[in-house]
Amino acid sequence: MAVLETRELKRHYGKILAVDGVNITTNDGEMVAVLGPSGSGKSTLMRMVAGLEEPTSGDILLDGRSVVGIHPKHRNVAMVFQSFALYPHMSVRDNIRFPLVSRKVPEDEQRRKLEWVTGILEIEDLLDRRPTRLSGGQSQKVALARALVRDPELFVFDEPLSSLDAQIRSQARGELRALHDRTQITTLYVTHDQLEALGLADRIAVINQGALQQVGTPRELYNDPANLFVAGFVGDPPMNLLNLGEAMLGARPEDFVPEDESSGDAAISVDVEIEQIEFLGAEWLAYGLVRAGIPEVDSHPPRVILRFRQIEEPRFVAGETRRFVVPKSRARYFDARSGERVMPPEVAVA
């Protein structure tokens, strides 16, 4: 267990700035997801923490001690790669023992550790197999066992679920969270998949173009995005963004309420021409064009996606135009130029 802290961490590749002054501090035993699109610098950040790359400037601290310049061998950071990177010519047993053998751990301790870790991950019956004979889920467990066996201070996960089949991914997510709750090892979890980040992490650090956008709990990120990037990146479908001139109004798809069902103060009320309706089991999605209620709808009617959680069919069909309102408590405003979150404007827009 440990506290990871990065201070003004920067990494250049030639002229390209891959990581641009990132400050993250974890709590002890916390699982922090680093969420960002591909090319955002999250992998570089992770590789610097693991010791595979050195920062251009800034510092990385584990429990207050700087680990910059310390060889990965001597940093007690374990990593699980996206591909799991199992050694194909070794049995599962030798794969798991490899970090112990490399660190010249005595034989009897190796055996105890192996028993302990295979018990936790329930892979006792796989020990004599070759990695090529394992399923995706089994490979993931072996990779986790190999990372866990050396008692690391810090775990670094590189999209460990994205190479699994979609059917077992949610199960694997649950198991990963259970493993973390049991071991209480501080974990940095790098992913581009917001479902993984929202579902797994205690807190999420959103990163884009090398810079940290927001750090917060999944609920904070969803309900109160700090800027337009977070608003557009977190949530599926993303937050609807409507240009009001000086400011942008953001509203989640589920925050649009048909006018006749609404009560209380409305931040905005818009006429939406429904183009298409999708049934997704527990919810409906409606795709539409805003026809009235905000400025400049005539030239570029903005597209919106609305979400309705209900069993019965919506009371409207494609082609119809309906009036929806967004309650004041649910509307979020962003500065149109900087993209940063701002307070609601004084005057309500007609």
Partner 1 sequence: MSTNPATGPRSQGVLARIAEACDRPRVLGALMLGPAIIYVVAFVAVPFVLAIGLSLSDATVGNPNITNLVGLDNFTQVVHQEAFMLALRNSLLITTLVIVCLLVLATAATELLARDFRGKRLVQILFIMPWAMPVSLAAITWLWLLDSQFSPIDWILVQMHLLGPGGVWGPGRHLYYLGREWLGIGSLVFVDVWRMLPLATIIVLAGRLSIPRERLEQATIDGAGFFRILFRIIIPALAPVLIIAVLFTALLVIGEMSMVSLLTRGGPGHSTQVLPYWAYLKGIESGDLAQGAAIALFLFPVLLVAALIALRMAYRTQDG
Residues that bind partner 1 (CB under 8 A): 50-52, 72-73, 77-79, 81-83, 85, 87-89, 98-99, 102-103, 130-132, 146, 150
Q: Which is nearer to partner 1, 98 or 333 (CB)?
A: 98
Q: Which is nearer to partner 1, 93 or 150 (CB)?
A: 150
In the complex, minimum distance from the CB of residue 53 to partner 1, in angstroms, rounded to a whole number: 10
Q: Which is nearer to partner 1, 131 or 293 (CB)?
A: 131
Paired tokens of 39: 């090319």
Using H for helix, E for strand and C for coil, what is the string for 290-346?
EEECCCCCCCCCCEEEEEECCCCCCCCCCCCEEEEEEEHHHCEEEECCCCEEECCCC
Q: Which is nearer to partner 1, 79 or 290 (CB)?
A: 79
Segment 67-74 long-range contacts (CB within 8 Å, at least 24 positions apart): 73/102, 73/103
CA distance 169 to 179: 15
346: exposed, middle or buried (Cβ count in 10 Å: 0-12, 13-18, 19+): exposed
If one counts every other C-beta atom within 10 angstroms of the C-beta of residue 36, the result is 27
In the complex, minimum distance from the CB of residue 41 to partner 1, in angstroms, rounded to a whole number: 18
Q: Which is nearer to partner 1, 83 or 217 (CB)?
A: 83
In the complex, minimum distance from the CB of residue 161 to partner 1, in angstroms, rounded to a whole number: 16
What are the φ and ψ backbone dihedral angles of 184, each rounded to 5 degrees? Answer: 55, 35
Q: Which is nearer to partner 1, 76 or 170 (CB)?
A: 76
Question: Could you tell me if 93 and 127 are in contact, meaning their C-beta atoms sit under 8 angstroms apart?
Answer: yes
In the complex, minimum distance from the CB of residue 337 to partner 1, in angstroms, rounded to a whole number: 42
CA distance 281 to 31: 31
Q: Provide CB contacts within 8 A for 225, sequence distance 6+.
A: 214, 231, 234, 239, 250, 332, 341
In the complex, minimum distance from the CB of residue 102 to partner 1, in angstroms, rounded to a whole number: 4
What are the φ and ψ backbone dihedral angles of 140, each rounded to 5 degrees? Answer: -65, -40
Q: Which is nearer to partner 1, 91 or 170 (CB)?
A: 91
In the complex, minimum distance from the CB of residue 89 to partner 1, in angstroms, rounded to a whole number: 4
CA distance 97 to 127: 11
In the complex, minimum distance from the CB of residue 4 to partner 1, in angstroms, rounded to a whole number: 16
